Structure 1
Amino acid sequence: MAIEIEIEQNSSVELSRIGTSETHGEDSPYFAGWKAYDEDPYNESTNPSGVIQMGLAENQVSFDLLEEYLEENCEGEGNYLNSGFRENALFQDYHGLFSFRSAMGSFMEEIRGGRAKFDPNRVVLTAGATAANELLTFILANPGDALLVPTPYYPGFDRDLRWRTGVKIVPIHCDSSNNFQITPKALEEAYNSATEMKIKVRGVLITNPSNPLGATIQRSTIEDILDFVTRKNIHLVSDEIYSGSVFSSDEFTSVAEVLESRGYKNAERVHIVYSLSKDLGLPGFRVGTIYSYNDKVVTTARRMSSFTLISSQTQRFLASMLSNRKFTENYIKMNRDRLKKRYEMIIEGLRTAGIECLEGNADEFEPVVER
């Protein structure tokens, strides 16, 4: 039984700036909702008046497919892991197992319909996309610099991008008149706003497909953003953690596809973030990646990734799973179909209640639009 020990707190003991910083973002309504749910979770039988968690993007619609895979392969996976016990237990290459980096690269190609190629030597492993985004921010910007981020954006970015790095977020203001598309005018206005405040802009960060809009960014818009960052000589970070959750593969364009069509011209300023938390529904495994076209960024990210390592056992297990093409093909198709049906069911229910929503084509989001 746990024992609570009360300790008198001496306020005169000083902490670092991070220890006393208020830029953690966890005082926002987003995290307040999490706290309310943790304290009073809804349960149909035991707590029907409790709080329903609708602020967490957690894909559980295809969990049975993962369980089926484990059931069918558990004996083989167990032998595989046991035979490599010594390799799992001892220090690994901080760059990550090549077998896993190769499997991740292949999986990223597969969910993009084979329209983009990924070199496993450019895959940097991190403990989730949160770590990947923060690590990239550390590499691309200095404290006091800024990243331009389109609105509305994932509330966790206020913590992930700002808290420990000292980097600022300058919003690119988008609105419902054009379904929150990012325009060249909005990009210029955000950049000029930062310049007027004497803040150095280091890059643009987009989420494609969008959290919280549940919609993909059009190819023409990605082209515009690439032209913008090239003209301003800044970076582009494309967070594509929902790329496999688009209802149809053809509806998603990765920045990797655009770069390939341009012969990788000016590619050294582009960096992609990916994770298995959303598409595979494995947030507890803490698996993220940075894919950069910049050699120095790859080298530095690998050095820094020693602070966000993924366990060897996790890497070996997932390398085997992602290398099973029969499983991945079936999972991707079934997961997309189920997400689309779930989306349509929720949209229909909201509209029956007289609530309008933004049209989406990905993710687990249904942004409510006031009329």
Structure 2
Amino acid sequence: MQMLSKKAACDSHGQDSSYFLGWQEYEKNPYHEVQNPNGIIQMGLAENQLSFELAESWLADNPDVLGLKRDGKSVFKELALFQDYHGMPTFKNELVKFMAKLRGYKVEFDPKKLVLVAGSTSANESLMFCLAEPGEAFLLPTPYYPGSNDFKITGCALEDAYEQAKKLNLNVKGVLVTNPSNPLGTTMDRDELNLLIDFAISKKIHIVSDEIYSGTVFDSTSFVSIIEAVTDRNIDDTHELWNRIHMVYSLSKDLGLPGFRVGMIYSNDETVVAAATKMSSFGLVSSQTQFLLTNMLSDKKFTSKYIEENRKRLKSRKEMLVSGLSDAGIECLNSNACLFCWVDMRHLLSSDTFEAEKELSKRILFEVGLNISPGSSCHCSEPGWFRMCFANMSQETLKVAITRIKDFVESITSSRDNCNHQLTFLDSRRRSVSKWVLPLSPYDNNEPAER
């Protein structure tokens, strides 16, 4: 007799997929520049550690915050006792100001339309519960599109996906996008956003825009939020579309605080906000965390310095990886955001198959000592693409990783050259032998044999 639910007994959880093989091997043998220089370097973790000391420096300058004090007086009791699931108004006010700042103040956010939850994963889950019934579908424009068009969203791709869902008898409730994109590291341009908006209007469906990487954009002028895109269309605020536009955000990537579990839902639909707020009781952000971050985000001098410096460091580190890979004969998709690069290793595959991609991924893991994410784990339809993270390690460790991949590519190239040389030699021998054999074949009229 089954004592557990089907969900608990199911073995299809992501943790059991091949994607996590590298994580498991890394945990067994993590790289350390002194203690374990031959260990595996973690390039599968999209974590931002490049500006961590800026946050630590702020904490050192504001010891009262860590001591749970306000104006020198303890607020421990105030924070330790019951907090309702609406969240602290002061924190929500500072959070929407920070979100507006990241977007160049081109849009404003209303704290009353914001729901606090424990991370963006919880935010997406709660939002799906609010927008769809079990069995209904959202379209996800993941890297399904071939590299020839730089993985951009097209109207044809949206229509094709919608029709495929209909053929499967799925009721499509909306489109879920990540902007900036994980794993591409690119921002959606206005043409793509307008395609989405037109598509949502024509199909009468929702748009959910996950914008957790908005603060990692190297060029702040190149990022357009879904809220800004709809606003710029001069769509009347009474239009029904506004109630179908929802945004997800988190401080995990932009401030490098994934352990603090701070996520949020932003929606114009009052019913969605009310329902999601009630659901947030299953995953609240602690009052201590809200208190600390209220003080940090309210320091405008700090946030300005952090945003500017973080963008510079991300751009510099990304360029370091791209340059190193280019020297090894490996190209990357041109990107302008995020903590990783979308890397083209199609030329290193033994064949144009996902089996060959899996084989290459394992070789890079076990022979090279790098854990990177294969494109198939991101549902890429074209084998040979990989995601490489660069912001979760020191510059010295990244140099080691680049050296390792260069040596690996050289070994493959050398092996192929030797193989080609041997094939050329054998082919030459065959041609040489044929010149000697053919004349010795007996023909009555001495005519050359047909070849």
Instruction: Please state how far the C-alpha of 1:32 moved relative to its aligned partner.
Output: 2.1
- 5 Å-filtered alignment, 1:8-157, equals 12-75=1-64, 78=67, 79-80=69-70, 83-152=74-143
* 2:179 and 2:211 in contact (8 A); partners too: yes
Instruction: Please state how far the C-alpha of 1:82 moved relative to its aligned partner.
Output: 5.6
* 1:30 and 1:55 in contact (8 A); partners too: no
Which of 212, 219, 234 is 1:248 aligned to? 219
1:346 aligns to what SS in structure 2? helix
Unaligned runs of 5+ in 1: 1-11, 153-172
4+ runs deviating over 6 angstroms: none
> Which residue in 2 is equivalent to 1:156?
none
- Write the distance in 2 (CA, Å) between the matches of 1:323 and 1:30: 39
Residue type of the partner of 1:320? N
Identical-pair percentage: 52
> Which residue in 1 is equivalent to 2:280?
305
- Write the distance in 2 (CA, Å) between the matches of 1:241 and 1:76: 25
Comparing 224-233 with 234-243, greater Cα deviation is found at 224-233
2:264 aligns to what SS in structure 1? strand
Instruction: Please state how far the C-alpha of 1:210 moved relative to its aligned partner.
Output: 0.4
> Which residue in 2 is equivalent to 1:270?
245
The verdict on how the C-alpha distance between 1:256 and 1:61 changes in structure 2, with shifts beyond 3 A counting, is same
Residue type of the partner of 1:339? L
- Establish whether residue 279 from structure 1 lines up as the match of residue 254 from structure 2: yes
1:274 aligns to what SS in structure 2? strand
* 1:244 and 1:332 in contact (8 A); partners too: yes
Which of 190, 194, 198 is 2:165 aligned to? 194
What are the Cα deviations for residues 317-345 of structure 1, in whole angstroms up to 9, with x where unaligned? Answer: 10111011000000000000000000011
Residue type of the partner of 1:343? K
> Which residue in 1 is equivalent to 2:373?
none
- Establish whether residue 206 from structure 1 lines up as the match of residue 195 from structure 2: no
Which of 171, 181, 184 is 2:155 aligned to? 184
- Write the distance in 2 (CA, Å) between the matches of 1:82 and 1:174: 57
- Write the distance in 2 (CA, Å) between the matches of 1:84 and 1:341: 41
Residue type of the partner of 1:101? K
Instruction: Please state how far the C-alpha of 1:293 moved relative to its aligned partner.
Output: 1.3
Instruction: Please state how far the C-alpha of 1:17 moved relative to its aligned partner.
Output: 1.8
Instruction: Please state how far the C-alpha of 1:31 moved relative to its aligned partner.
Output: 2.1
Residue type of the partner of 2:210? D
Instruction: Please state how far the C-alpha of 1:103 moved relative to its aligned partner.
Output: 0.7
What are the Cα deviations for residues 60-109 of structure 1, in whole angstroms up to 9, with x where unaligned? Answer: 00001001101111135532296222221111121100001111100000
2:278 aligns to what SS in structure 1? helix
What are the Cα deviations for residues 103-162 of structure 1, in whole angstroms up to 9, with x where unaligned? Answer: 11000000000011100011100101111111111111121111111122xxxxxxxxxx
> Which residue in 2 is equivalent to 1:155?
none
- Write the distance in 2 (CA, Å) between the matches of 1:13 and 1:53: 39
- 5 Å-filtered alignment, 1:198-237, equals 198-237=169-208
Q: TM-score, normalised by structure 2?
A: 0.73
Instruction: Please state how far the C-alpha of 1:219 moved relative to its aligned partner.
Output: 1.2
* 2:217 and 2:336 in contact (8 A); partners too: yes
- Write the distance in 1 (CA, Å) between the matches of 2:88 and 2:148: 47
The verdict on how the C-alpha distance between 1:182 and 1:363 changes in structure 2, with shifts beyond 3 A counting, is same
- Write the distance in 2 (CA, Å) between the matches of 1:337 and 1:132: 29
Instruction: Please state how far the C-alpha of 1:49 moved relative to its aligned partner.
Output: 2.5
Q: TM-score, normalised by structure 1?
A: 0.89
Larger radius of gyration, structure 1 or 2? 2
What are the Cα deviations for residues 153-210 of structure 1, in whole angstroms up to 9, with x where unaligned? Answer: xxxxxxxxxxxxxxxxxxxx32211110000100000010010011111111000000
- Write the distance in 2 (CA, Å) between the matches of 1:186 and 1:364: 27
> Which residue in 1 is equivalent to 2:397?
none
Return the structure number with greater helix share: 2
- Write the distance in 1 (CA, Å) between the matches of 2:205 and 2:18: 32
1:278 aligns to what SS in structure 2? coil
Unaligned runs of 5+ in 2: 348-451
- Write the distance in 2 (CA, Å) between the matches of 1:174 and 1:107: 33
- Write the distance in 1 (CA, Å) between the matches of 2:269 and 2:187: 25
